[in-house]
Amino acid sequence: MKFANSPLLSQLLPAWRARFVAALILLAFGVLAARSVWLQVVKNDFLQQKGESRYSRVIELSATRGRITDRAGDMLAVSTPVKSIWAIPEDARLTPAQARELAALLEMDVRELNRRLAAEKDFVFIKRQIPPDTASMIAALNLPGIHQQREYRRYYPAGEVTAHMLGFTGVEDKGQEGIELAFEEQLAGKPGSRRVIKDRLGRIVEDVESIRPPQEGRDITLSLDAKVQYLAYTHLKQALADHKAKAGGVVVLDAKTGEVLALANLPTYNPNNRLKLTGAQLRNRALTDVFEPGSTMKPFTAALALEKGRYRFDSQIQTAPGRLTIGNATISDAHPHGMLTVAQVIQKSSNVGAAKIAGTFAPEEMWQMFDALGFGQPMKLGFPGEVGGRLRPHKTWRPIEQATMAYGHGISATLMQLARAYLVFARDGDMIPLTLTRLDSAPVAGKSIFSAQTAREVRVMLEMAVQPGGTAPRAQIPGYRVAGKTGTAHKLEGGQYANRYVAAFVGLAPVSDPRLVVAVMVDEPSAGKYYGGEVAAPVFAQVMAGSLRTLGVAPDAPLKPVQVARDAALVPESL
């Protein structure tokens, strides 16, 4: 039987099936037509977006970082335009000769260059922040898949002199240390954006529109005086070299306003070249390193005694035989002195005298004074890593611990805390907050710690300490009356005092109307001398003298040769 005569074909299909199939076909065409109208007429943004994604790009417009200047407007940090070289690895088909030429211009190994160009990514940085002239030479090569973009690099004209004050930024031009980090929000600004059309090689062929203009970063004017900062840095550097010391720091404060005029630390680093930066160089020791301040704390003990009426300026204290036993411990003076007035206890730096004064206080009284002076708590200047030192609760003090705190042992502080505390003697008993930025208005009202009479009497004691018979005649300055106190403390290692020292000196000038407070710390001098009066006091004199003259502060003493006792006659301070 032939296929055409099959009885199956002779049977007619039901009419409804044909109509159903036709209806399905018409419905499908209707859905497609409706979808087409929806996409191309009603909701055409989807296709438009997909099309634009092939050629339209939104690129970021960098905001220029704000400048940092000193109080006189001298530039301390500025962002300079640089270029970064990037590539589309798929398009960067370089010949060996081209790769070698590019690597030579970028001062990088050709194998590293080839490794980056072989990455399975759509975008890779080859090298960032290269000089504009190098970028121009690379552009002239017209290499496929190799592109450039403008960025900014931070430049610090003063280099290592202001490194710890300013800090630095990273490759993204964001603050990572110091002022750069503390004032990141003000300095950074906000980037903008614009829409462009690029070809398949990433080249901009049309600038379409500006979406958001960049907001430039704000400039910051610091309280820092560049000339005073340089004085502090250079004299500290010389002192560390002379005494073969491990580290050191100098802080200079304006006693009238609380402005930080200088902050120098050593070791330091060059923020413009940080390839070999180490942790020791990076530490801002004046704010992050604590030490036992030693005899620099004795003036506060004397001030509390005067304030509470327990002693007068000329009250006598028996310090013979130069030793004092409390419990199982004995306190000693470096040299026995016998009967001393309270003023002479500070002048001669008697540990026994300071301990006997402290014995008349309740522990809570001393703790409240230390707390009011800011010890044991961060100053909240905004610097990263700032610490508050160690001041234990008074309820845990034993009698021997209270006695040693009277002369700066058993308590720790940063150099900046110590400098700020001495403001009470420079400001007739009150203390104002410190500031890192220039004040263009009157400082905030001070917080009274001691009466003006107490502060002035202690100031006289401090002036006695730098005169012949005191512990720091090397702190004297021709033409100016100065006042200050030495400190020499053993370093704690593993809970025990080691045969290593921290030499310190904190002082103010001119005594008749104090303008500046200068604090100096030298860590582990190892050239034979380690007393604060021998190591730190001369640095104070050099920095203070230069700073007073730089600021135009009038002399308040006859200009005559400084009277410095000979080494053999110099009475060293007690530890």
The SS3 call for residue 37 is helix
Catalytic residue, candidates 295, 349, 412, 547: 295
The sign one gets for the Cα dihedral 478, 480, 483, 487 is negative
Note the pLDDT of residue 454.
97
Question: Which of 51-65, 74-88, 450-464: highest mean pLDDT?
Answer: 450-464
pLDDT in tens, 368-414: 999 999 999 999 888 888 899 999 999 999 999 999 999 999 999 99
Q: How far is CA 227 from CA 29, 46, 538, in A?
A: 84, 62, 19
Q: Name which of 402, 341, 400 is nearest 370 in CA terms.
A: 402
Q: How far is CA 355 from CA 301, 309, 457, 489, in A?
A: 9, 17, 20, 16
> How open is the CA angle 371-377-378, to the nearest 5 degrees?
140
pLDDT in tens, 410-426: 999 999 999 999 999 99
Query: Is pLDDT of 566 > 60?
Result: no
Task: Report the mean per-residue pLDDT for the chain.
Answer: 87
How are the residues of the chain apportioned to helix, strand and coil, as percentages rounded to the nearest 5?
35, 25, 40
Domains and CATH numbers, the chain: 58-92+100-107+122-221 (3.90.1310.10), 226-269+281-550 (3.40.710.10)
Q: Which of 139-148, 340-349, 516-525 has the lowest mean pLDDT?
A: 139-148
Q: Which of 170-184, 205-219, 359-373, 539-553 has the lowest mean pLDDT?
A: 205-219
Note the pLDDT of residue 195.
62
Query: Is pLDDT of 514 > 70?
Result: yes
Q: Name which of 154, 86, 83, 93 is nearest 118 in CA terms.
A: 93
Query: Is pLDDT of 42 > 80?
Result: no
Note the pLDDT of residue 149.
79
Residues 538-547, buried b or exposed e (16+ Cβ, 10 A)? bbbbbbbbbb
Asked if residues 460 and 343 have their Cβ atoms less than 8 Å apart, the reply is: yes
Note the pLDDT of residue 203.
57
323 residue type, one letter? R
pTM of the model: 0.82
Confirm whether 136 is a catalytic residue: no
